[in-house]
Amino acid sequence: MLAALALCASAFVAAPAAPSALARSAVSSSPLFATEMTSANKKAKAATRKQKSSRAAAKRFKVTSTGKLLRHYAGKAHLLRKKRPQHLQRLRRVGAVDGAELDTYQRLLLVFPKRKN
């Protein structure tokens, strides 16, 4: 039984690292091998980076097949007892985003419309 415990305890002990591996890691992290990030390098890296859409806008708008955006009407969160049922019915509908903000929101969502309106 003691032999089994000793065997289990040795399984949890990490093996010592080889000295050559330590020397290699010290050389690779030295500042001599690091490349300088100039403004041109930063711009090139940013150009190849994958673009991300705005997650806040993605939760609020739905994109149609032609590239238009649909939105929900505001005013249905609270104080509903004083609002008329007809008004609440209008608020349940889905509306299109106005043309004044459409370009801004399309850029946030990385939407490229099929045709320009």
DSSP for the chain, written as a single string: -HHHHHHHHHHTSPPPPPHHHHHHHHHHTSTTSPPP--HHHHHHHHHHSPP---HHHHHH-EE-TTS-EEEEPS--SS--TTS-HHHHHHHHSEEEPPHHHHHHHHHHHT---SS--
Residue 64 lies in a domain: yes
pLDDT of residue 40: 86
Residue 89 lies in a domain: yes
- 49-98 pLDDT, tens digit each: 888 999 999 999 999 999 999 999 999 999 999 999 999 999 999 999 99
Residue 70 lies in a domain: yes
pTM over 0.85: no
Residue 30 lies in a domain: no
pLDDT of residue 65: 93
Residue 11 lies in a domain: no
> Domain containing 58 — which CATH number?
4.10.410.60
Total number of domains constituting the chain? 1
Residue 20 lies in a domain: no
Residue 17 lies in a domain: no
Residue 78 lies in a domain: yes
- 35-60 pLDDT, tens digit each: 677 888 888 888 888 889 999 999 99
> Could you list the residue range(s) of the whole structural domain that residue 72 is in?
51-117
Of 1 and 88, the one with more pLDDT: 88
